[in-house]
Structure 1
């Protein structure tokens, strides 16, 4: 790939310069990791936003912000509350170019404001441990650094790009889903910066994801004096959980995972409330309708019982990511770019979900694990392999140059969104 670019010598020179900034970039990442930007920590997310925008100032992009809507959350008492989500960041340059790339990522982490895990430190010369170093403050740094290298290249004016960073990916992108779909429809190619696996493997096809809260309302009564007058919501929920879990495998790849249960008040009271938070995964888009129909059947039978009311909140928030011909062509281009840089790019299907699902659902071919190599994400053992920072910057910079040089024009000519 590199040797066949029309400006190969200039491209090689720019890629060779990336290593010169590695130490400084690790310093930036260490500072970013010390900013707690857990989902819905609005103050921390605002601090993270300011740090990113300041770092990106050299790109000369147009900067704007999009306030996201509140989303609903079912509280432990069954009441539905509105939850604020902050705002998304948009950086745009040459937005009307004939070739347009959308680069996405998220500023939030899974670590709440009161987490004990608040700073980065080296576990060894090659392992940096810290909140968000891999997922995905390291990825954002790869993205912005690759754009900086690309903007120095002779290909810069041949490609328009937009960076979209959301503050709610770790909670399912519920508030940013509409914005992701809108911006996906204006682009030709999507690049997302979730971390790669430690060995460099990237995600290919992805399952879809849904999150639900199953709420059961029964009838309270004294557990000794009036037991027969009560309707035990906890017992009903236990039966319902079994019925929902039995849907696992009803179609290939479907899993239903009841995960968090609450209910009841005191042992001498027949409980009138219980609920369970449930995650589902599905392999094909049409599985969603099948699953929803089965849920409706179960709820209908329970709501026909005297003394019970059953509600199901939530839905499928990320459809499955299916690989289209355009997506396969992008994956092959990235494989060729990796080979030119001296490493093999492999892809594996995964049950995990990310913004790549949202982009694919909007028709945008994308690869969504272009961030740093690392592991143990979503835990206090999260780490990034430091040598992957320059490696992945070079990879993304070369991908951008190849797209700008026309290597995917056969798909881009079909229109925005693939």
Structure 2
């Protein structure tokens, strides 16, 4: 892990230096593409406003489909073959929008966005509001802004005739914020597109570094859940710690969690107990992510449940962490027992040389367009995202979307200029990849 972090740091620094030293002016064709992006900037914001004002929380299937229809129309205008892919009814997800163009020129590129937001279907709607150089609204940067960047980059390329004979695929998922199970189905179409592509670009929000400069994401940590079940001997509290009664379920739970804290901490690894229930009667509803607990202060608790989150950067780091957690869980206090189960969600996107090369191309495109070089974002600073399902099959880069604040919270906003800037960077990169 130390070598991985050093590798990323050194190459990221090298990218910045290389882009600054070797920056070239844009070609006449690229200049035309940039001018087309700029000429349509006001329409791009109108498109963003239209989609932001549609409530599309993951479980608001109607809203997700409505946003999909808006983008489907735009992609159809650009010569893409489009289709809506429904998910099986029992999965309770709206489905995905897929758009494709087939050609024989240059790299085959997959562009990834998502239609849904984190907000509940019945949550108060926070509509689009423009205040100077910032705009707010539900999903404005996570990630309807990123979707619009994709559309506007493709629109400029189409206007310049630069999409002809290229292979470009677009997938806008309808459940990124709460991916449907089984993942083999909900992400199957995305994986199939990745296997037919050379490069994948994802448009989650661009994260700025401490100097306010844009970054790119070459690695993202996994999102894995775990559930800890602990049992103890119920009895009168006056007998706690003795040979017959033992320590009870709550003390055993505390031992396990605190040992995790003391022994597992390392770079790019986190393990968070998000819910703890303990007592003599415990119930947990996984669908609603809530539970109940009953117990009295003079009774030793006989059961406890913990729901947690585990994030790691490489499969090897994940396997090591799970093995150590199982070992800690097995070292029970007297009179108690425990077991831990893991459920894999989003796989890790490990930093690779291929991902770094894509970042270098993106950084060069940005610098050549006068928008500055792009550094690699430390993987620990991002959560999980759809790109992680395709990263094992294709060189990938994420974080090409809008810049803003407050994602997943009331008041979510973006920097208005980041839509145009993102579309310029993406359009130049796509032009170069597909030549």
**TM-score of Structure 1 vs Structure 2, range by shorter chain:** 0.7 to 0.9
Give 1:328 shift.
Answer: 2.5
1:212 aligns with 2:225: yes
Query: Which one of 270, 277, 282 corresponds to residue 262 of structure 1?
Result: 277
CA distance in structure 2 between the partners assigned to 1:298 and 1:201 by the alignment: 41
Query: Which residue of 1 is the match for residue 195 of structure 2?
Result: 185
1:310 aligns with 2:339: yes
8 Å CA contact 2:25, 2:369 repeated in 1:
no
- Partners of 2:206 and 2:168 lie apart in 1 by 22
Q: Is the 8 A contact 1:221 1:230 kept in 2?
A: no
Tell me how far apart the structure 1 counterparts of residues 187 and 325 of structure 2 sit (CA, whole Å).
Answer: 24
Matching residue within 83, 89, 93 for 1:85: 93
Compare 140-149 and 92-101 and name the one that shifted more: 92-101
Distance in 1, matches of 2:234 and 2:319, equals 38
Q: Work out which of the residue numbers 26, 36, 40 in structure 2 matches 1:17.
A: 36
Give the CA RMSD over aligned residues: 3.1
Pairwise CA distance, 1:191: 1.0
Unaligned runs of 5+ in 2: 1-21, 280-292
Bigger shift: residues 331-340 or 19-28: 19-28
1:235-259, Cα deviation, whole Å (9 max, x unpaired): 433222223333432x543222222
CA distance in 1, matches of 2:362, 2:414: 21
Task: Verify: 1:358 aligned to 2:371, yes or no.
Answer: no
Q: SS at the partner of 2:378?
A: strand
CA displacement, residues 199-240 of structure 1 (integer Å, 9 cap, x when unaligned): 451233424223323232536857679998798544433222
Give 2:8's aligned residue. Answer: none
Where 2:428 maps in the other structure, the secondary structure is: helix
Contact kept, 8 Å, 2:96 with 2:174, in 1: the verdict is yes
TM-score normalised to structure 1 length: 0.81
Question: What residue ranges of structure 1 are gaps of 5+ in the alignment?
Answer: 71-81, 406-418
Is the alpha carbon distance of 1:42 and 1:232 closer, same or farther for their aligned partners in structure 2, counting shifts above 3 Å?
A: farther
CA distance in 2, matches of 1:90, 1:340: 31
The number of aligned residues is 387
Q: Relative to structure 1, is the Cα distance of residues 320 and 366 closer, same or farther in structure 2, using a 3 angstrom cutoff?
A: closer
Maintained 8 Å contact 1:234/1:273: yes
Match of 2:6 in 1: none
The secondary structure found in structure 2 opposite 1:286 is: helix
Deviation at 1:12, TM superposition (A): 1.9
Q: For residues 34 and 86 of structure 2, what CA distance do their matches in structure 1 show?
A: 36
